[in-house]
Amino acid sequence: MPEPILEIRNLEMFFPVKGKVFQKEKDFVKAVNGVNLKVNKGETLGIVGESGCGKSTLARTLVGLLEPTAGDILFEGKSILGSGRKQMHQLRKDIQMVYQDPYTSLNPRMKAGEIIAAPLKAYRMTDNLERRVKELMDRVGLKAEDYAKFPHQFSGGQRQRIGIARALALNPKLIILDEPVSALDVSIQAQVINLLEDLQKELGLTYVFIAHDLSVIKHIADQVAVMYLGKIMEVSDSESFYQDARHPYTNALLSAIPFPDPEKEKKRRRLVLGGELPSPADPPSGCVFHTRCPLAQDRCKMEIPCLEPKDENTEHLVSCFYPIHHGTPVPSENN
């Protein structure tokens, strides 16, 4: 039985919206709205969703950049919320993050070596500092002479390697990867994904990999969760997820990705979603997806579905009243 290293329980993160002058009641953007997730040690959880679904906010609460409104986050069985400043400092050591944009996530006025050394200095692990930094640089595929270069002298892919080396510096157990390859070119993307996979194997790391792209997730994740308007729509092990996606939204996401194969692409039946993402400040009643769902019934507008198993696979959870059954043709809205 694999043991969970990270458990997210009923997590909520609401941001107040500035109300009108005479309006006492505040509105909230419910960026993360009751999320439950588990990540097993040494595995990768992929979190997928479109912009505005709350996946980045979720990532920020995990590394302690945001204090959640409600709920709990357990790391190795212990809550990491509400602990004092000193304790937080120690906990952060084990949970590190890699950011999306390799251009803005590195201090432009610091050298590559200093950037990677910063976490070590912050934890006063300054013995053999330069040797340790050079080891890290070697591990992520940077050259020793890159030590004294500034970020603008690197390409996007190399910058992302610096970001990864920085995240590795403190020997963390869990790394949150917030869209680490979406800003990179295809040929560089593959380099970084392979590097991340190698590092995971060598160091026994656990990843939470956030992406908007289900194809990248397919390559790296053991578990996949789909988010929509702050809620988890479907979560499952990767195999069952890609073979037997149950939620209509997941199916729409999957069929929205064009195959790089013109023959398969022509034969394919696609489910194109209509409409746009509703405002997270004023989410729809009932199931949040019902406004765009091609299968929505009256019940979906009234009741909120639970995230629960829909067949014998108890690890495959779906938040839908009318999940799609494998084999039944997907209704097409393709006009």
Long-range contacts of 277-280 (CB under 8 A, 24+ apart): 277/50, 277/51, 277/52, 277/53, 277/229, 278/229, 280/29, 280/30, 280/31, 280/52, 280/54, 280/229, 280/230
The residues near 142 (Cβ < 8 Å, ≥ 6 apart) are 112, 158, 161, 162, 165
Q: How far is the CB of 13 from another protein (least distance, A)?
A: 16
Q: How far is the CB of 296 from another protein (least distance, A)?
A: 16
Q: How far apart are CA 249 and CA 233, in angstroms?
A: 8
89 versus 325: smaller Cβ distance to another protein: 89
74 versus 110: smaller Cβ distance to another protein: 110
CA distances for 328 relative to 82, 235, 244, 246, 278, angstroms: 47, 21, 11, 11, 28
Strands 308-309 and 231-237: unpaired
Q: How far is the CB of 260 from another protein (least distance, A)?
A: 4
Which DSSP state fits 144? G
248 versus 323: smaller Cβ distance to another protein: 248
36 versus 270: smaller Cβ distance to another protein: 270
CA angle 203-94-145, nearest 5°?
60
Q: How far is the CB of 220 from another protein (least distance, A)?
A: 8
92 versus 173: smaller Cβ distance to another protein: 92
Strands 174-178 and 95-98: parallel
Q: How far is the CB of 193 from another protein (least distance, A)?
A: 6
38 versus 179: smaller Cβ distance to another protein: 179
Q: How many CB atoms lie within 10 A of CB 232?
A: 25
Q: How far apart are CA 113 and CA 306, in angstroms?
A: 48
Strand-pairing partners, residue 177, are: 98, 209
The residues near 201 (Cβ < 8 Å, ≥ 6 apart) are none
Strand-pairing partners, residue 211, are: 48
7 versus 237: smaller Cβ distance to another protein: 237
Q: How far is the CB of 181 from another protein (least distance, A)?
A: 9
Q: How far is the CB of 255 from another protein (least distance, A)?
A: 8
Alpha carbon 153 to its chain's center: 29
Q: How far is the CB of 215 from another protein (least distance, A)?
A: 4
239 versus 315: smaller Cβ distance to another protein: 239
Which DSSP state fits 82? S
